[in-house]
Structure 1
């Protein structure tokens, strides 16, 4: 996949070209088998098509999300395996880097994005990969979302897909909350208590708690994976108390690096 910046009718736009299919099919198949075995449906990887099929999925998902009131790029034009998309502004990742460790600024930005994800979920929407690089914030503070060439609903239910959103978000945010994971967990808990079924699915990642506690010493990337698991586990504590049937699921240990394989 390649993305090129350009100007169309005096406005910034992006030309997105979709490469051939994903070469990670074997690894994704292993991940799918592991997620099934541990009954963590939200971690099942959706198919990663390429070329025209990926373009069609993204165009469809942009139309669906736009109809649900979610801020996404407009399709300005298209080719056999390209889309011309409107520009929504700077990425969330760029603004987090610009905050340069300012905790108050990072928390304000993160809270706004969490609220936008929760609002979209309430409208029946889901994303797939709401990582900081796939989220935008314009000068007015409006939150937008980009990058939809896969569809999680091909392999999971809507509540599982929304749970996957929170898992992916926590993974993407881990490096910005190194040493302050409690702050991120508190913000996630505030919104996830309104999504008890989604929280139940997200809470199943607690099966990997033992694994998370054992890999932090392996380096920065491993620590981010560990933090994302523990953050989601902490954030889902209160909602999980409301869903007693899965209370014990997230008390189990796991030793397989699932989240890391998703990237």
Structure 2
């Protein structure tokens, strides 16, 4: 997949091209096998078809989310395996980098995004890879969401997909709250505790507390997961939800040896 910034009629836009096939099929299959063994359906990876199929999924999901009143890009044009999408503003990842060292500013950004996620969930929405690089905030403070070339409902129910959203969001935010996990937990707690169906599904990972204690002895990514676990444990009735984010990090960096901890 490639994304190119262009200007259309004087406005910023993005040309997104979808690569064919999925080079991560092996690791995705491994992840699916692991979470099936653990009976944690909310963490099953959705299929990644690539090419025109991925484009069609993204176009459909954008239309579905827009119909629910969620701020997503407009489709300005399309080809066989491309979409031309409107710009929604700066990513949360970039905003957080700019706010580094300013906890008050970070908390303001986090609160705004948590509120937007919770509101979208209340309307029946769910996302995909809900990490800071796929969340936007424009100069007016409006929160938007991007990147939908997979559909979690292909392999799970809506409450599980929403639990997956919170999992990936908290995992992505953990590095910005090192030493302040209690602050992130406090910001997340109200939204999470208002979603009992989501909590019921995500709570299945609560039995993995022993693994959480081991994470701190591993590398940076694992320590980040451990911080996230502390956040969720403090925030809601979803103890240990974030431990499985280690598996998602596996997809990103290919460190297959981390999965051995689960067996």
TM-score (norm 1): 0.90
Match of 1:8 in 2: 8
The secondary structure found in structure 1 opposite 2:84 is strand
The secondary structure found in structure 1 opposite 2:147 is coil
Call closer, same or farther: CA 1:99–1:232 in 2, change over 3 Å.
same
Call closer, same or farther: CA 1:103–1:255 in 2, change over 3 Å.
closer
1:258 matched to 2:250: no
Match of 1:138 in 2: 138
Call closer, same or farther: CA 1:256–1:61 in 2, change over 3 Å.
closer
The Cα shift of 1:144 comes to: 0.1
Call closer, same or farther: CA 1:71–1:83 in 2, change over 3 Å.
same
Match of 1:27 in 2: 27
Q: Name the CA distance, whole Å, in 2 between partners of 1:255 and 1:82.
A: 32
Match of 1:153 in 2: 153
Call closer, same or farther: CA 1:13–1:257 in 2, change over 3 Å.
closer
The secondary structure found in structure 2 opposite 1:217 is coil
Call closer, same or farther: CA 1:259–1:228 in 2, change over 3 Å.
farther
Q: Name the CA distance, whole Å, in 2 between partners of 1:56 and 1:176.
A: 34
The Cα shift of 1:185 comes to: 1.3
The secondary structure found in structure 1 opposite 2:162 is helix
The secondary structure found in structure 1 opposite 2:206 is helix
Native 8 Å contact 2:62 2:72 kept in 1: yes
The secondary structure found in structure 2 opposite 1:179 is coil
Call closer, same or farther: CA 1:255–1:91 in 2, change over 3 Å.
closer
Match of 2:227 in 1: 227
Match of 1:236 in 2: 236
Report Cα offsets for 1:1-27 as digits up to 9, x if no partner.
100000000100000000112112122
Pairwise CA RMSD = 1.9
Q: Name the CA distance, whole Å, in 1 between partners of 2:246 and 2:135.
A: 25
| Long gaps (5+) in structure 2 | 253-263
Tell me how many residue pairs correspond in the alignment: 251
Native 8 Å contact 1:90 1:136 kept in 2: yes
The Cα shift of 1:188 comes to: 1.1
Match of 1:125 in 2: 125
**Comparing 8-17 and 215-224, the one that deviates more:** 215-224
Match of 1:180 in 2: 180
Q: Name the CA distance, whole Å, in 2 between partners of 1:35 and 1:15.
A: 34
The secondary structure found in structure 2 opposite 1:226 is helix
Call closer, same or farther: CA 1:257–1:208 in 2, change over 3 Å.
farther
Native 8 Å contact 2:24 2:251 kept in 1: no
The Cα shift of 1:201 comes to: 2.1
| Long gaps (5+) in structure 1 | 241-249
Match of 2:194 in 1: 194
Q: Name the CA distance, whole Å, in 1 between partners of 2:250 and 2:207.
A: 16
Match of 2:36 in 1: 36
Match of 2:205 in 1: 205
Q: Name the CA distance, whole Å, in 1 between partners of 2:224 and 2:246.
A: 12
The secondary structure found in structure 1 opposite 2:70 is coil
Q: Name the CA distance, whole Å, in 1 between partners of 2:50 and 2:5.
A: 21
Call closer, same or farther: CA 1:59–1:211 in 2, change over 3 Å.
same
The Cα shift of 1:207 comes to: 3.0
TM-score (norm 2): 0.90
Q: Name the CA distance, whole Å, in 2 between partners of 1:49 and 1:208.
A: 31
Q: Name the CA distance, whole Å, in 1 between partners of 2:244 and 2:62.
A: 37
